[in-house]
Amino acid sequence: MTPQHRDCIIQIFALLCKRFNLSPDSNSCVYHYWYDLNTGVRTNGTGTTKTCPGTAFFSGNTVAAAEANFIPLIKQQLAVYAATSGGQTPAQQAQVLYAAEVGVDTLNVRVQPSTSAMVSKQLSRGVDVSIFEDRDGWSAIDPPKASWVDSHFLTRNGGPAKTAAQYAARVTVGVLNVRSLPSLSGIVRNTLNMGAPLYVYQEQNGWSRIDPADSLWVNSSYLARNDGAPV
């Protein structure tokens, strides 16, 4: 897909939504890949489906890929049209900072960058997302609409190597040593107090690595996995 292809597709879908007063979502903006050729029933990609030369457009043909990477761009373009038609200066399009991939089985998308915020939808492992803003460990994935995910569960594409966390946890003992190795022989590098939140990136022989790059380990026996694994 060339930049010209991309802009044309986004603008056509936005114009159709504007003309017919449609709210852009995966029910109004659909892919032919989501329908079975023999029955005509929507199966979201299972059964007998039509191949497409645009398989890689907007990170793939799945519903999740469309919701994460295509529909937000349609909404963004609609906002530009709305500002222009109102005689205002066209809204500046949000810039994509980088692309990333969901690295946990189920990742909650929240309306605010907080674990207490309402969950609007969920993304599955491997779904590609575009990041428009990073804020205090959270990433915005849809600029026109409040959509935030925990950055710790993303793997950045085409950038510095970063391991996605496996899950979030908290300390259950008064003082927990953070060691340089997954062993009692490791040097104590730091301590954590009861209730301290953390992320687990690797598990090994009863120990948990709590840093995406550095060798920082704690005894897994003194951790409690946060309720509801997705964050």
Q: On the CB side of 45, how many CA atoms lie within 13 Å of its CA?
A: 10
Spatial distance between the Cα atoms of 202 and 211, rounded to a whole number of angstroms: 9
pTM: 0.56
**Residue 151 confidence (pLDDT):** 94
Q: Is 132 exposed, middle or buried (0-12, 13-18, 19+ CB in 10 A)?
A: buried
Q: Distance (Å, rounded) from C-alpha 161 to C-alpha 138?
A: 18
Q: Return the CATH fold of 167-225.
A: SH3 type barrels. (2.30.30)
The alpha carbon of residue 182 and the mean position of all alpha carbons in its chain are separated, in whole angstroms, by 30
| Residue 94 pLDDT class (50, 70, 90 cuts) | low
Class of CATH domain 98-156: mainly beta
pLDDT at 93: 55
Domain limits, the chain? 3-85, 98-156, 167-225
Backbone angles phi and psi of 59, in degrees to 5: 75, 15
pLDDT digits (tens, 9 = 90+) for 105-155: 999 999 889 988 889 889 999 898 989 999 999 999 977 677 899 999 999
* pLDDT reported for residue 18: 87
